[in-house]
Structure 1
C-alpha cells in the first residue's frame, strides 16, 4: 500500500482511522439466502447439460431450495433463531463478531494438520541486484555460509525491523482505497507473534502492541541464537554493520560447533497434536528448554541461514517463452526447507530464509494475519538492495554470552524429531508446487486493450484452465478482504457463477463466434466484480453462514444445511487468491485445500502475471504441470477472444453508422 511513502509529520498516523471504522455487519438473512440460491444455479446448469435435462428441471431444483430457505427464514424458524444468536455474539464482542469469536479458532487453530504447505503461506523474494549476477546464479559448496548471504540477511533484517519501528511510531500511512480507510490491526500481528500448540485447539502468544522484544532468533545448522536488532534505549533499529557482524559471529560459531545433533525446530512441523505432546515433554525435561522456547516464541521473527543453495534435480523454466531462475527449488525451500523441515520454526508469524547464494524467501503462520499484510512488509524490505561496496564484518564480533539457546534432549524427544522430519518429507514429496511466469501480456494489456478488470479476468482464466484440465467446473474460492471494517479479515468471492459457466461453455465450443465469447467474458467479469464488491463490503454469504452454523445446538438441523449441494458449493477444489503486482517477488504460494484440488496465488504485474500453483502428487486426478500448460493456453485463447471480439464489434458498429 503506502509503506514506502516518505514520512511527513503532517500525514495521518498509522492507526488514526481505527476508531472510525465500522464493525463487520451481520447481513440480512434473506439477502444471504437469495445470494446463496443464485450461486447454486451453475451447479444445476452443469448437471442438466451432462444429463440432458431442461431449464424446467433446473428451476425445479432451485425452487426446492427456495422452499427450504423460506422455511428457514420464516417467523420462528431456525434461521431466525440463529440470526438472533449471532446478533448476541456481535453484542458481546469488542471489535468484530467473526474475528473475535470464531475465525482464528475455527479456520486455523482447531485444524490439526502440520503447518508446512497445508496452512503456512510462502513468498519467494526477487534476487538482490546488489549481489553479483554470477553469485546469484551460482551454487556455493554445501555446508558453507557466504559473504553475500550474510549481507543480504543483514539487509533484510534491517529493513524488516525498520518497518516494525515505523509501525510502532505510527509513521506508516494508513492503507486505504476509494471505498475508505482500511483496518491496520493486522500489522500489529506480524512481529513477535507465535502459534502455540495445544490440545484440542492452538492459541497465539503475543504481547500487546507495540511488541517490546528487541531480538530476533537466528537459526544456523539447526542451532538457535538470539540477536539484538533494536537499540533498547532509543528504540531505533541497530546499524546494519552491527547486525551483519552479529550474523557472521553466529555463522562462524555454528560452523565451529558443526550441525546440531538434534533438529528441535523440526518438531514444529509435525501434526499439531504430536507437536503439542512433544513440546510438553520437552518443557518438562528441563527449565533450560522452557527458557529457549520462550526466547523463540517472544522473538520478533526467526531468520534461518541455510548452509546450502537448493537445486532442482532437473531444471524446468517457469515461463513459456524464456529462461527463469530455478523457481521449483525456490518453492521447495520456501515451503518445506528443502523437504526436511529443519532449520526452521514453523509456528512463527514470520520466518525469513536466506540460502548461501543470497536467494531469500519468507514463510508465515497464517492465523494471526492474512498473507497480504506480511507481503506488504516484505515488499518494503526488498525495496533496497545490499551495499555491494561495504566491507566484510566477518570477525568483527563474537557470539555474546547467553545468546546461544541450549536444549536438554532425551530419546523420546529424538524419536519425536525423527517422526516430524519424516512427516515433512512426506508432505514435500506429495507437494507439486510450481510457478508460471506468464509474460506474453500482463495486467496493463488486460485493462487497456482487453477492457477488463485484471483480477476478474485472471479468475476467468483459472475457470477455463480448470475446465480444460478436468472437463468440468468446480466450486472456486477467491479471497475477499474485509479490511474496511474493524479487525476485518476475509470473506469468499464465489468465482463459479452462471456467467462464468456460460462463458467457459462458449470458449469450449468451437462454433461460438469471437464477438459472443467476448460479450460473455464481459458479463462474467462484471458479475465477478460485483460479487467482489459485495463480499468486501460485508455482504458476502460464506462467513455469515459459518457464523449461523457454528451456533447450532445439539439436535438442531435443517434441510438447507443437510442438502449435499450446501457442502459441495463450499468444497473449494480450486482455492485462489491474488496479492499485489508483485514486482519484487519471484512468486508466492499456498497449498491446495482439498487433496484433489489446486491452491493458486497470483501476482498481476503490468507486464508479467506470476501464478503459484500447488496440487498433490498422490492425487491421480490432478497435475500442476497440466494445469499450468492449460492456463497458458487459456490466457492465449482469452487474448484472441478479446482482440477478435472487439474487432468484430467495431465492424458492426461501423456498419450501423452507415
Structure 2
C-alpha cells in the first residue's frame, strides 16, 4: 500500500506554515505529474530490475523491452494513447485512470489485503469522574472523536482546512474530498465509489448522520442537528449509550451483513445485487450506510496487548465493520482507539493530517470550533436488512471464510525505544535510508538473500498526486549487504558501502518524488492495452509483462511504508504476497515502532527478520558512531 512519504524526515507533529488560502486553492495550480518518455521508463525499468536478476534473466528482460519499445512494437502505440489522454480536457494527470484500475480494479478482498489502520497513541486525559463508570471511557472517547471529525468536516465544507505544506510547497488536498460520506461499491468487473464532490453528488456531503456498529448491529445516529449545528459532547455520549442499550445482543452470525464486505469484490457485488433485489428496505439500509459521514465501531472487549489491538483494527470482528467505508473509527472499552481506512481514495498522508487534527486539539475545543450545542438525545434508528435463507447462508459463509483467511496471516509488533530519527541524523544519515538499509541487512540474515522491496513515496506536490512505487534494491544495496557479510571487510569498507548505498537510496527516492520512476508508467500502459487494446490493435499477452524483470521486481519480499506522527502508535497493513513481510512503521525522533505481517506458512522468517532488524539497527549505529569525525 502507499501511505506516507517515507523520505520526509520531519515528524508531522511539528507546526506547519500556514497559507492565507482556502483548502483547495492551490490544487488546480499545482504542476501536472510529468509523463516520462517511453525510452526513459524502459531504461529505468531495466536498471531497477537488474540487481534482482541473473545474467540470463537480464538478457531475456532486455530483449522483451527492446521489442516492446521498438518503432513497430506495442509500446509506442500505447504511449501515444496515454499522451492523448493526458492532453484531454478535464484530465488532471495521466494517472487519473491508473488509480481506478489499480485500486478499484482489484478483485480480491480489500479487508486485510488493502485497507490499512492506525492505532492512536494513548488515550485522552479526562477529568470527568464519570470515566469510572462501566463503559464510560469508551463513550467519552467515541464522542470526542465524533466531535473532532464533525468539526473537521464542517471546516472542510467551508474550505477552512489549511493546505498542507512540505518545505513551503503546497501539496494536493484533493484526497480530502473522499474523507466523508464515501463508500466503495463492489462491481462485477471493477468497483465504483459513491462519494460527494462528484458529478452524481456535487459539493460536500449533506448527510447529518453516522453509522454506529455495536455487537454486529448497525445503528444510524445523527451527529448534526436539523439546523446544521453539531450535537454537544454530552448529547453524543447519551446517543452512544442509547445505541448500546438498543443492541444488547450480538447479531447472529448469519445476520450481520458487514461480513459480506470481506468477500472478493465480484462475489460481494453478486451478494449486494441479491440484497437489492430481495426487498426495497435493503436499498434504504445500504443508502444509510453508504451516505453516512463515517462509521464508528464500538468494540466489546479490550485486546490484551499492542499486537491484539492492531490485529483487531485491521481484521477484527467483521460483523462490526463495513470495510467498504472510507473511514471507520474503532473504539475499545478502555478508550483506546484507532482507524480503519479504505484505500482507493485515501493515502496515508491525508489520513495522518486528519488524525493529527483530530487528536492535537481537545474535544471541547473541537466542539467550540464547530458550534456544537446541546440539543438533547440525537435521533437513532436501527439499520435493518431483510434476508432470506440464501443470503443468510452467504453471510455465514463469508464470516467463516474471513476468519480462516485472517488466521492464515501472522503478525507481530516491534517497539524499538533506543533508536529514532534523531539518532540517524546525529550520524549524518537520512533516517529513511538508515531504516531501509537495516531492513535489507536483516532480510539477508533472516532469509539468506536479498528480495524485491517496495517503498511508498508520496508525490502530492503534483496535481492530484498520490504515490510512486520505489524499488529499494540497487547495486549499491547489494554491495552494502555483501560488505556487511564479508568477515574480511574493514569497518571503513563497511561504512563506505553503507553511506554509498544510503546516498543511492536518497537519489532514487528523489527521482520518485520528481516523477522519474518506471513502474506506474509501464503498468498504466498495460492497463491501456486491456482497456483499449482492440481499438489500438494491441493484444495481450505482452511479453514485457511476463519477463523475469517485471515479475520478480513486483513480487515483494518486503513491502514497506511509514507513518511519522506522534499521534500514531502503530500503523499496519497486510502482507502482499506469499513470501512477503509487510513492514508498516512509525519512525519518530526517539522511537521506532513496527507492525509486521506475513503469511502464517512463512511466519518463522518474519520473526527472524524482526530479531535481525533490532540487531542490524544497533550494529549500523555503532558502525557509524565509531567513524572519525569529518575534518573541519
Q: Give the structure-1-normalised TM-score.
A: 0.85
Q: Deviations over 1:44-76 (max 9, x none)?
A: 4xx4xxxxxxxxxx5x87577556545544444
Does structure 1 retain, via aligned residues, the 8 Å contact 2:558–2:583?
yes
Higher relative contact order (CA 8 A, sep 6+): 2
Task: Give yes or no for the alignment of 1:428 onto 2:388.
Answer: no
2:135 paired with 1:158: no
What stretches of structure 2 of length at least 5 have no aligned partner?
Answer: 1-10, 198-202, 368-374
* Counterpart position of 2:104: 109
SS of alignment partner, residue 576 of structure 1: strand
Contact 1:126–1:586 (CA<8 Å) still a contact in 2? yes
Partner residue, 1:183:
172
**Does the 8 Å CA contact 2:213/2:321 hold for their aligned counterparts?**
yes
CA distance in 1, matches of 2:170, 2:333: 41
Q: Deviations over 1:369-412 (max 9, x none)?
A: 1122122212221224567xx9xxxxx96674x62222212211
- Which range moves more in the overlay, 92-101 or 263-272? 92-101
In the alignment, the residues of structure 1 paired with residue 250 and residue 157 of structure 2 have an alpha-carbon distance, to the nearest angstrom, of 37
Report SS of the residue matched to 1:192.
coil
The residue number in structure 2 matching 1:479 is 456
Aligned counterparts of 1:205 and 1:284: Cα–Cα separation in 2? 19
- SS for the counterpart of 1:14 is coil
What is the CA distance between 1:15 and its match in structure 2?
Answer: 0.9
Which of residues 325, 333, 337 in structure 2 aligns to 1:356? 333
Structure 1 residue 569 corresponds to structure 2 residue 547: no
Q: Which of 288, 299, 318 is matched with 1:295 structurally?
A: 288
**1:197 Cα deviation after fit:** 1.2
Alpha-carbon shift at residue 474 of structure 1 (Å) = 0.9
How many angstroms apart in 2 are the aligned matches of 1:344 and 1:68?
45
Question: 2:247 maps to what in 1?
Answer: 254
Distance change in 2, residues 1:335/1:404 (3 Å)? same
Q: Deviation digits for residues 118-165 of structure 1, max 9, x if unmatched?
A: 1110111112141599999xxx9xxx9701110000001111121121
Corresponding position of 1:122:
117
Question: Distance between the aligned counterparts of 1:131 and 1:278, measured in 2?
Answer: 44
Paired residue total: 601
User: Which residue, out of 602, 606, 614, partners 1:619?
Assistant: 602
| 1:524 counterpart (467, 479, 501) | 501
Q: Deviations over 1:632-651 (max 9, x none)?
A: 1111111112112x23x65x
In structure 2, C-alpha distance between the alignment counterparts of 1:342 and 1:464, rounded to whole Å: 41
Change (3 A) 1:557 1:405: closer
Query: Deviation of residue 463 (structure 1)?
Result: 1.1
Q: Which ranges of structure 1 fall in alignment gaps of 5 or more residues? A: 48-57, 312-325, 391-395
Q: Give the conservation status (yes or no) of the 8 Å contact 1:94–1:100.
A: no
Q: 1:236 to 1:397 in 2, by over 3 A?
A: closer
* CA drift at 1:415: 0.6
* 1:213 aligned residue (200, 203, 207): 207
Counterpart-to-counterpart distance in 2, 1:40 and 1:217: 46
Structure 2 distance, partners of 1:557, 1:111, is 19
> SS in structure 2 opposite 1:619?
helix
Contact 2:16 2:164 survives alignment (8 Å): no
2:87 maps to 91
Query: Contact 1:587–1:603 (CA<8 Å) still a contact in 2?
Result: yes
Task: Report the 3-state secondary structure (helix = DSSP H, G, I; strand = E; otherwise coil) of the residue aligned with 1:530.
Answer: helix
Question: Mean alpha-carbon deviation: is it higher for 67-76 or for 302-311?
Answer: 67-76
C-alpha contact (below 8 Å) 2:57/2:549 kept by paired residues:
no
CA RMSD of aligned residues (A): 2.9
Q: How far does residue 84 in structure 1 lie from its aligned partner after superposition? A: 0.9
1:29-428 matches, within 5 Å, as: 29-44=38-53, 47=54, 58=55, 69-92=65-88, 94-104=90-100, 106-130=101-125, 146-178=135-167, 180-208=169-197, 209-233=203-227, 235-255=228-248, 258-261=249-252, 262-311=255-304, 326-337=305-316, 340-384=317-361, 400=379, 403-428=381-406
Deviates more, 1:371-380 or 1:152-161: 371-380
Retained in 1: the 8 A contact 2:61–2:548?
no
Q: Secondary structure at the match of 1:599?
A: strand
Contact persistence 2:569–2:586 (CA under 8 A):
no
How far apart are 1:605 and its partner, in Å?
0.2
Post-superposition CA distance 1:181-201 (Å, at most 9, x none): 211100111111101112022
1:461 aligns with 2:461: no
SS at match of 1:117: coil
> Which one is further off, 552-561 or 348-357?
552-561
Distance in 2 (CA, whole Å) between partners of 1:3 and 1:174 is: 16
- State the distance in 2 between where 1:73 and 1:307 align: 57
Structure-2 separation of matches of 1:236 and 1:509 = 67
SS at match of 2:87: helix
Task: Give the Å deviation of 1:359.
Answer: 1.6
CA contact (8 A) 2:93 2:463 kept: no
